[in-house]
Structure 1
Amino acid sequence: MRLKRLHIRYYPPGMFLDYEKRGQLKTKCIDLLKLTPETDVNELVSEIRASEPLITSSCVEQVKVLICKLQEKALQAHILPLTNVAFNKSGSSFITGSYDRTCKIWDTASGEELHTLEGHRNVVYAIAFNNPYGDKIATGSFDKTCKVWSVETGKCLYTFRGHMAEIVCLAFNPQSTLVATGSMDTTAKLWDVESGEEVSTLAGHFAEIIALCFNTTGDRLVTGSFDHTAILWDIPCGRSVWDADIGLCLVTLLGHNDEVLDVCFNYTGHLIATASADGTSRVFSTETFQCLCQLEGHKGEISKVCFNPQGSRVLTASVDKTARVWCAKTGACLQVLEGHSDEIFSCAFNYEGDTIITGSKDNTCRIWH
């Protein structure tokens, strides 16, 4: 075995060791869960060397530097596992939701915590920036509410109440005038960001709604459900008086043989990608409503799917501990992102499409270039 690279896992504290064994690149993790600012670094390194043969004398100083970095930030982590991650438009900051009932805003370059958003009474499960503006964040919780926050101050602006069960997905429209929420109560709701009022309820699924996404113009919303279908809704644009009966079902997209766990539009609104518990992702045309290609290769359910800004690539995250990059036109797998030690529940491209963030049940986020 030969050590290739060391890198930090901030949350919870630890280090990843990338090493080569019989020509294959592998990764193992050293947990440092008891690390505190008072921990004796030299003593800790000696303990690590005694139990880990990959840590040789040549890399001791590097290990010390990494542990010192961890000590500086060891008290800033979520105290319970992460639920979701999301970039702002530029990728300069990202947010994390957690079972600890908070959402945190982080600086991507430094890893510094900028704000902790506190106020939910249960798990913060769904999170989103109001891209491209990036001045607001929406959080959806198992407490059945959605909150809108100021990015600059970290203060709560509105709390949306009305769902009868957990909120598990949400999205801003591109104009940042509406927030859509999806719930385990089988409905989606639209909320006015300026007034804080409910605009309408979208009812049509026969099971829990667990994914939704606006198209680029904001006049269409796609929802994915445990009923094995995705529904495309017509959402009138504008800021005039709203009719409570808006939200017409345009088409139901069929083909998956298990729950649809995520859905998204590409940036032109001409394509929809779906992710399913059946282990596949599909790309549909919004003009013909036909399936254009099927993305096959994951060894377990796919929990998240998104397009790159150019619409040429699809990114998927799976319980098989990998994320994959696909050709949106042919469905061919172009790259497999390996390294997480547990299932990946979230993934996203930055606005330029040259950086990817993944969030995993191993309590870490990884940034890929």
Structure 2
Amino acid sequence: MLLLRCQLKQAPPQKVSFRFCVVMGKQQSKLKHSTYKYGPDEIIEERIQTKAFQEYSPAHMDTVSVVAALNSDLCVSGGKDKVACIPKSSQFFSASRDRMVMMWDLHGSSQPRQQLCGHAMVVTGLAVSPDSSQLCTGSRDNTLLLWDVVTGQSVERASVSRNVVTHLCWVPREPYILQTSEDKTLRLWDSRGLQVAHMFPAKQHIQTYCEVSVDGHKCISCSNGFGGEGCEATLWDLRQTRNRICEYKGHFQTVASCVFLPRALALMPLIATSSHDCKVKIWNQDTGACLFTLSLDGSGPLTSLAVGDAISLLCASFNRGIHLLRMDHSQGLELQEVAAF
């Protein structure tokens, strides 16, 4: 697990205090190409050179499986880990294949503040409650655990047969937790007793990831797949109807991550998806139309996507570490890679 400064500055790299933290390394400038714009009736592939971007020596020596933004200047990334941040805090949690969950403090020592042990298999989901008082964890052992953040004690446990957890997220201002699973379902859990409050209609493929909108009214889940079969994101209503609203199809391999983009970016609501097909796509949330595609050539499968700030995205990849992407409206909606580290 690494803590990275993701704000671009021209000062030489410096070490930071944590043993598990680094900043970006040697800098190189490169030119990118291969972007896709979408007109009313056709896809136009642009094979033109765009702005130079800054490429630093990789922060990780292996695949980056997850990235999360602490703020506009710092992000946390994990190789085989899952990471969840406490809102407006210097604290964050990590989980890994050793079945442990650890709590870290950015301003504390290099040792974890807490170690939470309770799962029998690899921990694959983490979600922090909106008031930061509780942590929910999920595992390949088919269980969810609810923890008291202050005491580090498990307060609730639930198990559902064949519910191999792939991701967890907490609904803002609500006692509900959203969860995706390898059994192709999306579940909504009530943290008050850790009971299933709603189970959305099963999809045709494994659900890999989920995200809830800031207002808590909608959520997205995404699917694995191959050759364009599956490989989609789905928008759901979290209010009374809890119906499927829209689907976003256009990736050709597993969609590993999906996020709601800040409304400040455009007049219309947008979502972004990243896929094992090396592409990040921007979609009109309401119509399902793909507005822009950025192809990160040579990156390998894209594994995780996170909103950095009002105009930036962080994208983790198999081969090239972490990509810093920026939204640009100077010539219509565009997404550009500005750095890799």
- Offset, 1:207: 3.2
Q: Give the aligned length.
A: 280
Q: Percent identical across equivalent pairs? A: 21
Match of residue 32 from structure 2: 18
Over residues 98-150 of structure 1, what are the superposed CA-to-partner deviations in whole Å (9 max), with x where a residue is unaligned?
A: 2xxxxxxxxxxxxxxxxxxxxxxxx4x2012212x231010001000100000
Q: Paired residue for 2:130? A: 174
Letter in 2 for 1:268: D
- Residues 276, 302 of structure 2: 8 Å contact kept: yes
Residue type matched to 1:146 in 2? V
Q: Tell me whether 1:188 sits opposite 2:135 in the alignment.
A: no
1:350 alignment partner in structure 2: 308
Q: What is the SS of the residue equivalent to 2:205?
A: coil
Query: 1:224 & 1:192 partners in 2: Cα distance?
Result: 22
Residues 1:314 and 2:328 aligned together: no
> What is aligned with 1:299?
252
Aligned partner of 2:121 in structure 1 is 165
As a proportion of its length, which structure holds more helix? Answer: 1
Q: 1:169 to 1:26 in 2, by over 3 A?
A: farther
**Which residue is 2:77 aligned to?**
96
The 5-angstrom pairing of residues 190-205 of structure 1 reads: 190-204=146-160
Q: Please, which of 65, 68, 84 is the counterpart of residue 66 of structure 2?
A: 84
In the TM superposition, structure 1's runs of 4+ consecutive aligned residues that sit over 3 Å from their partners are 10-17
Q: Deviations 1:145-202 (Å, cap 9, x if unpaired)?
A: 1000001124311111010100122121121111111111111211111000012123
| Counterpart position of 1:33 | none
Matched residue, 2:86? 130
Task: Tell me the TM-score normalised to structure 2 length.
Answer: 0.75
Match of 1:96, as an amino acid? S
SS at match of 2:304: strand
Against the structure 1 CA distance between its residues 19 and 254, is the aligned structure 2 distance closer, same or farther, given a 3 Å change threshold? closer
Cα deviation, residue 23, structure 1: 6.2
Would you say the 8 A contact 1:266–1:309 is kept in 2? no
Residues 270-290 of structure 1: CA deviation (Å, up to 9, x unaligned): 111101112011011112111
Q: Which amino acid aligns with 1:18?
A: K
**What is the CA-CA distance between 1:203 and the residue it aligns to?**
2.1
**Which segments of 5 or more consecutive residues in structure 1 lack a partner in the other structure?**
1-9, 28-61, 99-122, 237-245
Question: CA 1:15 to 1:169, structure 2 compared with 1: closer, same or farther past 3 Å?
Answer: farther
Deviation at 1:16, TM superposition (A): 4.2
Instruction: Name which one, 1 or 2, has greater alpha-carbon Rg.
Output: 1
Match of 1:264 in 2: 211
CA deviation profile, 1:333-366 (whole Å, cap 9, x unmatched)? 12212224211000011343x2111111113211
Q: Residue 323 of structure 2 aligns with which residue?
A: 366
CA distance in 2, matches of 1:281, 1:339: 20
Select 1:335's aligned residue among 286, 289, 292: 292
- CA drift of 1:78 comes to 2.7
The normalised TM-score by structure 1 is: 0.70
Give 1:80 shift. 2.8
RMSD of aligned Cα (Å): 2.6
